[in-house]
Structure 1
Amino acid sequence: MVTRDVVFPPGRQALYEKNRYSPAIRSNGFLFVSGQVGSREDGSPEPELGAQVRRAFDNLNAILKAAGCSFDDVVDVTVFVVNPEANFETIWRIVPEYWGAAPHPTLTGIGVTWLYGFQFEIKVIAKLPESGAA
């Protein structure tokens, strides 16, 4: 059996253990990050869409930092959006605050009908810096 090299951000390990998944796994020089939503410390959603998106990115960045990398190391992004026709423009106005300069990572956007009470989720794959590759 393969041992998983799990990365936990500070202060949220209990939430991940309760929900029975790993926030991120290091493997073969890459970091595979589970979908991050705009959840508060207790797991509840931020009520407003813009705050949810910012919190999702903050949660993502905490995981990236715990693994020794940043959004600049992200090579692939998947976003899930509830009601994209209504929500996309609001979300995409916030993204540049976190995205950084070109060249940008690859992107797949998926419209969904349900995200467990959330409206936005982001999952990424990042290339670990050479010193952090496990």
Structure 2
Amino acid sequence: MATRDVVFPPGRRALYDRNRYSPAVRSNGFLFVSGQVGSLEDGSPEPDLQAQVRLAFENLQAILAEAGASFDDVVDVTVFMVDPESTFEAIWEVVPEYWGDAPHPTLTAVGVTWLYGFQFEIKVIAKLPQAPGG
């Protein structure tokens, strides 16, 4: 098996090593990002829903930036929401702060019953920008 080209956000490698997964993997010009949640420094969930969503996006942005990308490079998004019937509107008030202008990436939203204490998770696939002269 080929060695994975893993991208780690600054200061969070221990979290991923402890849980035995990669935050993101580069492959064939794409970046596949694991689900990001609004975790505090100790790994616990941010209790306020909208703050939790913002923190999940901040964690996502840190990984994208480490790979030389931004949310503008995202082509596919999957979000997971606990009890979307009651949380969707509050979550979607935050999304435009990070989402950017149209055209938007594709989106799959999934309602779930449990996210390890979190209420929101986002995972993405991004097309990595070409290096200058590449």
TM-score, with length taken from structure 1: 0.97
- SS of residue in 2 equivalent to 1:130: coil
Which residue in the other structure is 1:69 paired with?
Answer: 69
Q: Name the CA distance, whole Å, in 1 between partners of 2:101 and 2:95.
A: 11
The code of the aligned residue for 1:85 comes to: E
Which residue in the other structure is 1:47 paired with?
Answer: 47
Paired residue total: 132
Q: Is contact 1:80-1:109 (8 Å) kept?
A: yes
Which residue in the other structure is 1:38 paired with?
Answer: 38
TM-score, with length taken from structure 2: 0.97
Q: Name the CA distance, whole Å, in 1 between partners of 2:5 and 2:42.
A: 24
Residue correspondence of structure 1 range 1-134 to structure 2 within 5 A: 1-131=1-131
Once the two structures are aligned, what percentage of the paired residues are identical? 80
- SS of residue in 1 equivalent to 2:25: strand
Q: 1:79: Cα distance to partner?
A: 0.2
Q: Name the CA distance, whole Å, in 2 between partners of 1:11 and 1:99.
A: 24
Q: 1:68: Cα distance to partner?
A: 0.3
Q: 1:18: Cα distance to partner?
A: 0.7
Structure 2, unpaired ranges of 5+: none
RMSD: 0.9
